[in-house]
């Protein structure tokens, strides 16, 4: 009726053409809308795609209306009245549905005012807009505004929200009482992400982020795409990607043994190995629960994989020999060790026995049963060690290097790690526990710095090192710049939406206390004993030259060490360790006065007449 009235301009036009055209138009229009799903849509979630489909369906309905009107001799109806009808009907559908949707969402918004936190989205790009749309139909959050550093968006409205400059984040958060900032820039580099996180945390609001492009399975962004910040986000460098050729070389279609399989590194090694389709994977661990746990995880994730768990210690030579011989092991990743510095310092005999004897038994088994590749998981604490743990790992490296000198056909190498984020005993879980308890966070020294890497990076480094080994190599990953532990603690406090309690902020939430260096602990860690880093086939993995002790002499000294361990003679243990490990037993006070890479003038090579030592580079160990 309205279409005819607009077209003809007279009220009589409404009745001029009779009742039949109205009935036909109504019936066909209802059928078109029903076919496009308009009547079955939930109005609160209706979107533009459905409205467009309804418009197309209505347009298609005009054609049969025209044909039927012609068939029944209603050609007197102006043809362009049908076009006016389409415009009027479509406008009514759009306006009525959008108005109803707005009213319904406003009512939901009023309910959510007392429920979800008020959110600002950091990033007004495509990902940020998609996230804002997802939040609007969610009961979990309330939207406040965008932050974006693009000048063209400053003080503009995007998706119905005002865009503020990141420079105003502190003022805007305080003025609007924003509870949460969500970083929605999945394409940001790690360096950019670190800077954005630092800026957002200045506001005191909790900070979360979208998964990055590698983590997002597709471009569909929902509120489930939001995650808490991880400490990995704070490394400020690109994750080190594996070279797939190197990654598969020592694993694909081979029999693999992982010792210490229940630990943080060992368990991740198992997961990484099983992605590369080995013939079989064998696990050794002396902790029943840890072994059971990783076995169940692997069976659930890789139901077709051949996985065998062996309960026992690597210090049991018969167990290690049986596993290696009976299963024709091709590659061994030796991750079993005691690694907690204060515990090993206080239990010197058992720490040395486990770490040294375990390495010797694994190396001997690898040689005896013609294992192709044997990789030792070591630590940066083995460089000029001040702790028994670090010294024990350096002796384990010496054992693997001496085994390489024998040229038995097995390729031996060692891999030095920095601190692995999230591993058992690392500062990250400890700081989380201390924050959850309300503090304080305890740090040994305000100047302590450490190198960090993620657990997947650590496991991938081990696997690739085995593929690059030529015999006696010591591999180290480029982990970027070291991180101050106090800065890490402050960042973790801010990640939880809390503030540091200090003289400048006495009303803060979490206090940081400095408790002094523990026995054997260093202010800084080093990756190399000197400046002799040599590039490898991977651009982010380096190798270094190290001194090597003659195999027979080393074997004799290890035997002496085991005797001293059996009698728990700590004085003799320190003397024997000092003879084997260059730079050991420098005290913490002296170490604190040095800078990384600076030599200690008092360090000397072992001088016992029964310990001939030769300095050998990688070329001296090739075979």
Residue 420 or residue 528, greater confidence: 420
Position 217 scores a pLDDT of 43
State the average pLDDT over residues 1-14: 53
Surface-to-core class of residue 224, CB atoms within 10 Å of its CB (0-12 exposed, 13-18 middle, 19+ buried): exposed
Domains and CATH numbers, the chain: 2-111 (no CATH), 118-229 (3.40.50.720), 244-419+453-479+525-621 (3.40.50.720)
* Strand pairing class (118-122; 142-147): parallel
State the average pLDDT over residues 210-234: 59
The CA-atom distances, in angstroms, between 99 and each of 43, 103, 104 are 10, 6, 9
Closest C-alpha among 254, 251, 240 to residue 275: 251
For residue range 102-150, what is the model confidence (pLDDT) as tens digits?
Answer: 666 555 555 545 467 888 999 888 888 888 888 877 777 888 899 998 8
For residue range 552-588, what is the model confidence (pLDDT) as tens digits?
Answer: 899 999 999 999 999 999 889 999 999 898 878 644 4
Residues facing residue 119 across a β-bridge? 143, 180
* Strand pairing class (510-514; 449-450): unpaired
Residue 544 or residue 366, greater confidence: 366
Please give the structure tokens belonging to residue 35: 């076919």
For residue range 69-96, what is the model confidence (pLDDT) as tens digits?
Answer: 666 555 455 655 666 666 677 676 667 7
Contact 357, 374 (CB under 8 A): no
Position 621 scores a pLDDT of 38
The CA-atom distances, in angstroms, between 246 and each of 255, 371, 373, 409, 461 are 17, 18, 13, 20, 10
Position 450 scores a pLDDT of 82
Residues 6+ apart with CB under 8 A from 370: 408, 409, 410
What are the phi and psi torsion angles at 146 (to 5°)? -110, 155
Number of residues in the chain: 623
Position 105 scores a pLDDT of 59
Residue 500 or residue 281, greater confidence: 281
Count Cβ neighbours within 10 Å for each residue of 16-37 and write b for 16 or more, e otherwise: ebeeebeebbeebbeebbeebe
Torsion of CA 504, 506, 511, 516, to 10 degrees: 60
* Strand pairing class (613-616; 449-450): unpaired
CB atoms within 10 A of CB 11: 11
CB atoms within 10 A of CB 547: 16
Is residue 1 scored above 70 in pLDDT? Answer: no
State the average pLDDT over residues 153-180: 88
Tell me the three state secondary structure of residue 379. Answer: strand
Is residue 9 scored above 80 in pLDDT? Answer: no
Contact 362, 332 (CB under 8 A): yes
Contact 331, 246 (CB under 8 A): no
H/E segment holding residue 303: none
Closest C-alpha among 328, 348, 332 to residue 340: 348
For residue range 511-552, what is the model confidence (pLDDT) as tens digits?
Answer: 999 988 877 677 777 666 555 667 777 777 778 777 888 888
Average pLDDT, the chain: 78
263-272, 285-294, 576-585: the lowest-pLDDT one: 576-585
Position 611 scores a pLDDT of 39
> What gap in Å lies between CA 514 and CA 431, rounded to an integer?
13
Q: What percent of the chain has pLDDT over 90?
A: 26
Per DSSP, the residues of 393-431 read: HHHHHHHHHHHHHT--S-EEEEEEE-EEETSTTSHHHHH
Is residue 598 scored above 60 in pLDDT? Answer: no
Instruction: Specify which of 47-56, 270-279, 538-547 reaches the highest per-range mean pLDDT.
Output: 270-279
Residue 206 or residue 362, greater confidence: 362
* Proportion of the chain in helix, strand, coil states, percent, rounded to 5: 45, 15, 35
Is residue 398 scored above 90 in pLDDT? Answer: yes
Is residue 616 scored above 90 in pLDDT? Answer: no
For residue range 184-203, what is the model confidence (pLDDT) as tens digits?
Answer: 887 777 778 888 888 888 88
Q: How confident is the model at residue 215 (pLDDT cuts 50, 70, 90)?
A: very low
Torsion of CA 290, 292, 297, 303, to 10 degrees: 150
The CA-atom distances, in angstroms, between 606 and each of 98, 271, 385, 479 are 84, 42, 15, 32
Tell me the three state secondary structure of residue 1. Answer: coil
Position 197 scores a pLDDT of 83
Position 530 scores a pLDDT of 56
> What gap in Å lies between CA 366 and CA 355, rounded to an integer?
17
> What gap in Å lies between CA 339 and CA 355, rounded to an integer?
9
Residues 6+ apart with CB under 8 A from 236: 190, 191, 194, 480, 481
């Amino acid at each position: 009726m309205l279409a005819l009235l607009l077209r003809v301009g007279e009220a009589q036009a409404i009745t001029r053409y009779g009742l039949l055209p109205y009935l036909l138009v109504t019936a066909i229009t209802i059928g078109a809308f029903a076919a496009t799903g308009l009547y079955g849509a939930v109005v609160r979630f209706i979107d533009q795609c459905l409205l467009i489909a309804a418009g197309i369906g209505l347009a298609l309905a005009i054609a049969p209306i025209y044909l039927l009107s012609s068939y029944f001799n209603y050609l007197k109806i102006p043809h362009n009245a049908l076009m006016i009808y389409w415009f009027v009907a479509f406008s009514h559908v759009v306006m009525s549905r959008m108005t109803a949707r707005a009213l319904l969402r406003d009512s939901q918004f009023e309910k959510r005012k007392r429920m979800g936190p008020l959110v600002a989205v950091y990033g007004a790009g495509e990902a940020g807009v998609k996230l804002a749309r997802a939040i609007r139909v969610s009961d979990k959050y309330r939207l406040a505004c965008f932050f974006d550093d693009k000048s063209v968006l400053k003080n503009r409205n995007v998706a119905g929200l005002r865009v503020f400059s990141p420079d105003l984040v502190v003022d805007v958060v305080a003025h609007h009482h924003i509870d949460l900032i969500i970083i929605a820039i999945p394409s940001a580099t790690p360096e950019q992400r670190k800077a954005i996180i630092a800026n957002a945390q200045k506001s005191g609001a909790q900070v979360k982020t979208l998964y990055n492009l590698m983590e997002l399975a597709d471009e569909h962004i929902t509120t489930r795409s939001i995650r808490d910040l991880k400490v990995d986000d704070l490394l400020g460098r690109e994750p080190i990607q594996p070279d797939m050729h190197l990654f598969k070389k020592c694993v694909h279609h081979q029999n693999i043994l992982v010792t210490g399989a229940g630990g943080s590194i060992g368990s991740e090694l198992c997961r990484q190995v099983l992605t590369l389709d080995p013939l079989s994977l064998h696990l050794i661990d002396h902790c029943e629960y840890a072994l059971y746990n990783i076995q169940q995880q692997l069976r659930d994730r890789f139901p077709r994989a051949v996985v065998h768990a062996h309960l026992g210690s690597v210090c049991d030579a018969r167990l290690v020999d049986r596993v290696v011989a009976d299963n024709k092991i091709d590659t061994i990743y030796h991750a079993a060790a005691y690694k907690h510095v204060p515990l090993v310092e206080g239990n010197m005999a058992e720490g040395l026995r486990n770490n040294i004897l375990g390495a010797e038994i694994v190396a001997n088994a690898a040689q005896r049963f013609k294992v192709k590749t044997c990789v030792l998981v070591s630590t940066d604490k083995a460089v000029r060690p001040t702790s028994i743990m670090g010294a024990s790992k350096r002796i384990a490296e010496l054992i693997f290097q001496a085994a390489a000198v024998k040229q038995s056909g097995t390729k031996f190498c060692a891999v030095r790690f920095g601190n692995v984020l999230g591993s058992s005993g690392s500062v990250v879980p400890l700081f989380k526990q201390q924050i959850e308890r309300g503090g304080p966070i305890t740090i040994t020294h305000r100047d302590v710095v450490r190198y960090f890497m993620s657990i997947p990076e650590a496991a991938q480094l081990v696997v690739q090192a085995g593929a690059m080994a030529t015999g006696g190599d010591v591999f180290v990953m480029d982990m970027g710049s070291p991180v101050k532990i106090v800065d890490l603690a402050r960042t973790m406090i801010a990640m939880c939406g809390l503030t540091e309690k200090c003289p400048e902020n006495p009303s803060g939430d979490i206090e940081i206390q400095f408790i002094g260096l523990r026995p054997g602990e260093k202010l800084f860690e080093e990756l190399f004993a000197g400046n002799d880093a040599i590039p490898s086939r991977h651009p982010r993995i380096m190798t270094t030259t190290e001194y090597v002790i003659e195999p027979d002499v080393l074997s004799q000294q290890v035997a002496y060490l085991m005797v001293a361990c059996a009698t728990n003679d700590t004085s003799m243990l320190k003397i024997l360790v000092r003879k084997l490990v260059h730079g050991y037993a420098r005290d913490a006070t002296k170490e604190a006065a040095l800078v990384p890479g600076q030599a200690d003038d008092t360090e000397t090579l072992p001088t016992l007449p029964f310990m001939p030592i030769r300095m050998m580079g990688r070329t001296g160990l090739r075979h």
